Structure 1
Amino acid sequence: MPLPVAGEARVALVTGATSGIGVEIARRLVADGLRVVVSGRSAERGAAVAAELGGAASFVRADLTEEGAADALVAAVVAAHGRLDVLVNNAAVDHTGPLLEVPPSEVRATFETNALAAIACLQAAGRAMRDGGRGGAIINVTSRLASIGVPTMGVYSASKGALLALTTAAAVELAPWDIRVNAVAPGMTRTPLYETWASGQPDPAATERRVADAIPLRRIAEPADVAAAVAFLASPGAAYITGTSIPVDGGYLAQ
């Protein structure tokens, strides 16, 4: 396909974009004028998200734990659009469990998605951005748990901590090609996963008040709060920002 003309809309790839924060990130990037490829493991949910977002969005199914999946995904984006300007490394799995009892299989499964798949996506996207000659922006979605300790969340925290460390290292190494690498670290966010957890508590309303009271801004984040930070880091307005992590946590880490 011919190279895009100057001024053509930028192209973003959002992994894990079939639910929760990922959907909202894709929605915000479309609103900002980007063409967005959403990706996830569920073809049914992915097709529904792309249909909701309209003609500027499309869906490519990928299980990023499979060998070569990241390369194939990025290749599909470039084949369809001729370029890749933004990668949002959002795909992740949750994990809880007493640290001393977590079996090795669960550790490996958590790191396969949260760290190894994210590294593979960064590598594939970084090569496409380098070879395209336009640079780009990579945003890794980490977590406040990459910076604090919470009982039963040790394996998840370690996987997100690896992604945070990758952010700073990649920012320095990829800077010569004008590829910026940053992270966004959400705090407690009102996703379907949160709603399921809260509704399973003996008193969901009291649980929400307790969670919110531990946050200086006294509310739980909405997915749109996280999407706004991602959109900024993806925008030309952040052209001189790389190697940093923005906590979107209502001031939790500032305490």
Structure 2
Amino acid sequence: MNPSERPNAPASEGEFTGLAALVTGGASGIGLATAGLLAARGATVACLDVNPEVPAPLLGFRADVSDDASVRVAVADAAEALGGLDILVNNAGIGAAGTIEDNPDDEWHRVLDVNLLGVVRVTRAALPLLRASDHAAIVNTCSVAATTGLPDRALYSATKGALLALTRATAADLVRAGIRVNCVNPGTVDTPWVGRLLAAADDPVAERAALEARQPTGRLVAAEEVAEAIAQLASPRAGAVTGTAVAVDGGMHSLRLRPR
């Protein structure tokens, strides 16, 4: 299928009407919220995930971002179904706890392979398609951990710090090709993944309260709030925005409030 044969956009007009988007980790949490929002605003959207069950009108494709062959097949299949590609949201990622002493080399390699090299693999596979777009945009899901020192998150923070640097370097490489590259830096988001972490804590109620308290707004970030920021960066209306990191963290990075 070529771009002129793209599926019809949803009936409701929106800023993404006629555009095709691909979201990794799109079957849950931030990814699903983003995919649904882009579709609601007119995009045709494919989700890549290890468990790609997604509601209509989203299209699901199985992919493991740690496997280059899997990524290339899934990106090609998704682009064929969409009739091209205009927007890539690199959202797939995994968490990790521990200080610099706590994780063996194998765990460092595993988390870096998903959180950093997974973005490399998907972007690399998508670039030939994005270069053919008149409104190409890449948005990476980074983290407040890239800019703020968090306790017990050395490995995770290292992967997200590297992703922030990769976002800016890639933006510089691709700006003259007309491809914008940005990222969002969420704080702690109320997702199924965070829910599982809380459930495994010795005192889930106290742990949730601690996570809420470290964000100046006093609550966890909603996945839909991160999706809004991603959509803003991906929109053709943001044509002058590239190489930027947008914090969606309840003020966690920038604000220093006095204790109550």
Give the TM-score, by structure 1 length.
Answer: 0.90
Alignment-mate amino acid for residue 21 of structure 1: I
Could you tell me how far apart the structure 2 residues matched to 1:185 and 1:225 are? Answer: 12
The offset of 1:214, in angstroms, is: 2.2
Matches within 5 A, 1:51-62: 52=55, 54-55=56-57, 57-62=58-63
More divergent stretch after superposition (149-158 vs 104-113)? 149-158
Aligned counterparts of 2:73 and 2:177: Cα–Cα separation in 1: 22
- Structure with more of its chain in helix, by fraction: 1
What is the Cα deviation at residue 80 of structure 1?
A: 1.8
Q: Tell me, yes or no, if structure 1 residue 224 matches structure 2 residue 224.
A: yes
Amino acid at match of 1:215: Q
Partner in structure 2 of residue 24 of structure 1: 33
Q: Does 1:10 align with 2:11?
A: no
Query: How far 1:172 moved relative to its partner?
Result: 1.1
CA distance in 1, matches of 2:133, 2:209: 49
- Alignment check: 8 A CA contact 2:2 2:84 kept: no
Partner residue in 2 for 1:93: 94
**Whole-angstrom distance in 2 between the partners of 1:128 and 1:228:** 24
Cα offset, 1:232, TM superposition: 0.7
> Does residue 147 of the first structure (1) align with residue 147 of the second (2)?
yes
Give 5+ residue unaligned stretches, structure 2: 10-16, 256-260
Amino acid at match of 2:211: V
Equivalent pair of 1:135/1:177 in contact (CA under 8 Å): no
Q: Distance in 1 between matches of 2:191 and 2:3?
A: 38
1:160 aligns with 2:160: yes
Distance between the aligned counterparts of 2:36 and 2:86, measured in 1?
17
Distance 1:182 1:102, change over 3 A: same
**Greater Cα shift, 24-33 or 92-101:** 92-101
1:8-54 alpha-carbon deviations (Å, 9 max, x no partner): 62110000112211111111111111100011112xxx22x1xx2x2
- For 2:18 and 2:126, locate their aligned partners in 1 and report how far apart those are by CA, in whole Å: 17
* Segment drifting more, 9-18 vs 195-204: 195-204
Which range is displaced more, 6-15 or 32-41? 6-15
With structure 2 as the length reference, what TM-score do the two structures score?
0.88
1:60-79 to structure 2, matched below 5 A, reads: 60-79=61-80
State the alpha-carbon separation in 2 of the partners of residues 68 and 161 from structure 1.
26
State the SS of the aligned residue for 2:61. strand
**Whole-Å separation in 2 of the counterparts to 1:218 and 1:202:** 22
1:176 corresponds to: 176
Identity %: 36
The aligned counterpart of 1:189 is: 189
User: 2:2 & 2:205 partners in 1: Cα distance?
Assistant: 56
**How many residues were matched structurally?**
246
**In structure 2, C-alpha distance between the alignment counterparts of 1:151 and 1:162, rounded to whole Å:** 18
Letter in 2 for 1:173: D
The one-letter code sitting in structure 1 at the alignment partner of 2:171 is A
